[in-house]
C-alpha cells in the first residue's frame, strides 16, 4: 500500500519538509544559546520518545497505516500530536537563536501546514476509531493543558 493515500497528504508532507528545509538552510542548525540548545535537545528527545512509544510504527503522512492502533501512553496521555510539537519546538529554538524574516515566514507557514495536517489526521482518526473523540476530549493537540 502506498504511503500517501491522497494528494492532499502528499502535498502537506511536501510543504512540511520544504519549510523545514528552508529553515535549516537559512541559518544555524544548532542553537548557540545554552537555553535554546536545551530547548532544541528537549524537542528532539520528546519526538524520539513519541516514536519509541509508537514502537517505530508511525507514518509521516497523515493517513493511517494498515493495522494502526491508538496509543494512549507516554506523551500521548497529554497531547495528541507530540511529534508535531517536537518539530515546532526544535525549529522555534533555531528561529529564536538565529532570527531572520525568512525563517519567521517559513516557521509560520510550517505551523499552518501542521495545523491543517493535524485536523485532517484527526478527521481520519475519528472516522476510524470510536474512542478517538473521547481521547480528544481529555487531551490537547500540541501543548499540554493549553492547546
Which cell goes with 56? 517505530
DSSP structure class, residue 64 = P
Residue 111 belongs to some domain of the structure: yes
pLDDT for residue 145:
86
Residue 72 belongs to some domain of the structure: yes
Q: Find out whether 59 and 3 touch, Cβ atoms under 8 Å.
A: yes
pLDDT for residue 3:
65
Distances (CA, A) of 136 to 26, 76, 128: 36, 11, 14
Residue 144 belongs to some domain of the structure: no
pLDDT for residue 1:
46
Identify the three-state secondary structure at position 141. Answer: coil
DSSP structure class, residue 79 = B
Residue 77 belongs to some domain of the structure: yes
Nearest alpha carbon to residue 52 among 68, 76, 30, 35: 76
User: Looking at residue 118, which CATH number applies to its domain?
Assistant: 1.20.120.1630
Q: How many structural domains are present in the chain?
A: 1
Residues of the chain with pLDDT below 50 are: 1
Residue 147 belongs to some domain of the structure: no
Residue 101 belongs to some domain of the structure: yes
pTM of the model: 0.93
Residue 1 belongs to some domain of the structure: no
The dihedrals phi and psi of 130, each to the nearest 5 degrees, come to -60, -35
Place of cell 494502526: 68
Residue 109 belongs to some domain of the structure: yes
- Domain residue limits at 46: 7-137
Amino acid at each position: 500500500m502506498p504511503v500517501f493515500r491522497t494528494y492532499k497528504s502528499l502535498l502537506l508532507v511536501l510543504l512540511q519538509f520544504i519549510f523545514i528545509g528552508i529553515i535549516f538552510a537559512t541559518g544555524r542548525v544548532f542553537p548557540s544559546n545554552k537555553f535554546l540548545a536545551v530547548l532544541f535537545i528537549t524537542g528532539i528527545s520528546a519526538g524520539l520518545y513519541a516514536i519509541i512509544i509508537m514502537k517505530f510504527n508511525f507514518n509521516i503522512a497523515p493517513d493511517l497505516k494498515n493495522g494502526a492502533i491508538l496509543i494512549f501512553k507516554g506523551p500521548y496521555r497529554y497531547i495528541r500530536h507530540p511529534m508535531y510539537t517536537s518539530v515546532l519546538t526544535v525549529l522555534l529554538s533555531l528561529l529564536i537563536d538565529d532570527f531572520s524574516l525568512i525563517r519567521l515566514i517559513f516557521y509560520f507557514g510550517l505551523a499552518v501546514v501542521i495545523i491543517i495536517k493535524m485536523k485532517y489526521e484527526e478527521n481520519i482518526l475519528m472516522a476510524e476509531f470510536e474512542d478517538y473523540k473521547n481521547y480528544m476530549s481529555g487531551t490537547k493537540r500540541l501543548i499540554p493543558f493549553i492547546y
